Amino acid sequence: MIIPELPAYLTTLGGADYKGLIISLFAVTAMLSRPFSGKLSDTIGRKPVMMFGSIVCLICSVIYPVLSSVAGFLLLRFVHGFSTGFTPTGQTAYISDIIPAERRGEAMGLLGTAGAVGMASGPAIGGMLANRAGLDIMFYCSSAFAIISVLIIFGMKETLIEKHRFSTRHLLVEKSDLFERRVWIPCVIMALCAYSYGALFTVIPDFGEYVGIRNKGLLFSCLTVASLLVRLMGGKASDMYGRREVLRISTVVMVLAMAIIAFSSTSLQLIVGVSLYGFAQGVTSPTLLAWATDLSPDNRKGRGVSSLYICMEFGIGMGAFLSGLVYANQHEQFDNTFLLCGGLAALAFVLLLILGKRTRGFSF
């Protein structure tokens, strides 16, 4: 809901040169919090981890309207990252507890579909509210949705069987908590593909305005609607044909999408490229989540999922930060910004071809 309007909002505060930090600061915090959320999810339970993330989202959405400085805005974006660092980790571990392994791809596709519904409607609603009622109303509506999520989580049943009371010692992260080595291949693929996501969310609002798209939320809605349309199909396909086989196709589509975006000169071309990327991302994300949970031991599913998310946030953060540097508010740099994204997606495709054995179904 708020992401499409944040670049312009930061500009009004005098921070136009810091647009690349809008997403990257958020992603850095999410990445740093993953080892904690993964360990806590496996010890104190899935619900508390999800609840903490939603409460952070609620508090931050209320604070945005009262900010008056660039430093305050950037600090809040840093704190806001805890919402993504905790809630999705708990969600994914929760689903892996209740869904049989042979339907895990389908389940992750369903989770992604639910998220895509919010990501598709949020930017459009946020853009409409910002244009008609102002940014403050947009932020307060965002906090209202966070309140609803808190109430839903409160009514859920905990699925972790052997859970412990929270203790400060649970915040002591050991080396083994930082990364689940069994999921390293999905993690590398995720980092390479997530770079494009960070670049899109940083540069696309300006690119859209450059080609004549006034509602900045429109392109994000196109991306998430396209993702929504294929998530269930992509998840089921990975259950049937194998995680690698499906990922090879989705990474090729991602390369093509980045090429179209890079050379777009009209609003229609940009919409087509962004939508095609949405298709690729909609297949890639649930497949990688299912693959990571396939490879994680039962007592370390939270850590396995958090490892994948760490690499996702690393990719998003690097994509946001480096794309901001490459773009540098120069319209003639749009092509170089997205050609770099396409090159990294192509590298992911190559790695899928050469790393490890062929897989089928949900096995490694």
Concatenated DSSP letters for 39-65? Answer: HHHHHT-HHHHHHHHHHHHHHHHHHGG
Q: For residue 224, give the CATH number of its domain.
A: 1.20.1250.20
36 in any annotated domain = yes
Confidence of residue 298 (pLDDT cuts 50, 70, 90): confident
Give the residue among 215, 320, 343, 213 at the shortest CA–CA distance from 265: 213
Residue 341, pLDDT > 90, answer: yes
Give the residue among 217, 334, 188, 338 at the shortest CA–CA distance from 277: 338
168 in any annotated domain = no
Q: How many domains does the chain have?
A: 1
163 in any annotated domain = no
CA 343 distance to own-chain centroid: 20
Residue 358, pLDDT > 50, answer: no
- Assign 323 to helix, strand or coil: helix
Residue 59, pLDDT > 90, answer: yes
CA 307 distance to own-chain centroid: 14
Residue 356, pLDDT > 70, answer: no
363 in any annotated domain = no
362 in any annotated domain = no
Residue 216, pLDDT > 70, answer: no
Residues 6+ apart with CB under 8 A from 180: 295, 296, 300, 303, 304, 306, 307
237 in any annotated domain = yes
Q: How far apart are CA 119 and CA 317, in angstroms?
A: 19
CA 92 distance to own-chain centroid: 13
Q: How far apart are CA 285 and CA 277, in angstroms?
A: 12
Residue 321, pLDDT > 70, answer: yes
The answer to whether 140 and 2 have CB atoms below 8 angstroms apart is no
167 in any annotated domain = no
Phi, psi of 141 (to 5 degrees): -65, -35
171 in any annotated domain = no
| pLDDT tens track for 110-168 | 887 887 788 778 878 888 898 899 889 999 999 999 999 999 999 999 988 888 888 77
Q: Residue 234's domain spans which residues?
A: 3-156+176-354
Q: How far apart are CA 164 and CA 338, in angstroms?
A: 46
